[in-house]
Amino acid sequence: MKPAVDIESIVSIAISAGKIILDIYQQDSFEKHIKLDNSPLTAADIASHHLITQQLQKLTPTIPVLSEESLTIAWDVRRQWCRYWLIDPLDGTKEFMKRNGEFTVNIALIDNHEPVLGVVHAPVLDVTWMGEQGQPARKQQAGEQYEIGVKQHKAGEPWIVTGSRTHAGDSLQAFLADLGEYELISIGSSIKLCLVAEGKADLYPRLGPTSEWDTAAAHAVVNAAGGEVIIVENGQPLLYNTKDSLINPHFLVQSVSSGRA
């Protein structure tokens, strides 16, 4: 189902949130807390959350919003949603705190468990990736927009693999050992999925925990770019809002023809 939402309006919201984040990022110090799940939370997460949720509620008042920084929404309520916004106001808070610039604003529209529209904005890099069902994926940089797409891996060439800068572990090392010749690009946040979408990487294996808001926006970009996000265990597409838990299974991001599943 093609989303009846102008993606450019979502790009504007993401960029506005990015500006608020940058204002805090450029301060000498900023407020930080540790949440119950032991993940970090900063003033930038909260400021971005409030801006995005307010703007989305104004733009689409009948579509519910689920944010990483929302109050807990019960599964009995969520399971009734056919269409909703799924956002991560600041994906890569650890990268934000390290001040390496590898963090993003993620806004996705989920329809019947699938991400049908997604915008990923990297404020420090001033880069935005966008994808919507039925339209080519695009990248915006330095005021210019252009189409992007996954690349097809050629036999005999090294695999270009993107992986987490913060969460690499033994499972990834085992995957790489099985792969053959490869080059690993370590980077933070949902930028990893976007590198596959724009053909700068062949694969992104995620063999550790992530939450649904971490992946949804970039997942929409990957789909629009001709790639796929599949569950490692069974090769099925990664879906959203199908269970009480918001934790994703292990997944693989790839071009459809790479055949690594």
Q: If you write DSSP's letter for every residue of 196-237 in order, what string do you get?
A: HHTTS-SEEEE-S--BHHHHHHHHHHHHHTTEEEEETTT-PB
Contact 260, 251 (CB under 8 A): no
pLDDT in tens, 199-222: 999 999 999 999 999 999 999 999
Residue 214: CA atoms inside 13 Å, Cβ hemisphere, count?
19
Q: Which helix (H) or strand (E) holds 254?
A: strand 251-255
Contact 179, 157 (CB under 8 A): no
Helix and strand counts by DSSP (H, E) for the chain: 7, 14
Three-state secondary structure call for residue 164: strand
Q: Which of 240, 187, 243, 236 is nearest to 215 (CA)?
A: 240
pLDDT digits (tens), the chain, 261 positions: 445 789 999 999 999 999 999 999 998 776 666 665 657 788 899 999 999 999 999 999 999 999 998 878 999 999 999 999 999 999 998 899 899 999 999 999 999 999 999 999 999 999 999 999 999 999 999 889 999 999 999 989 999 999 986 665 678 888 888 898 999 999 999 999 999 999 999 999 999 999 999 999 999 999 999 999 999 999 999 999 999 999 999 999 999 766 554
- pLDDT at residue 37, rounded to an integer: 61
- pLDDT at residue 259, rounded to an integer: 54
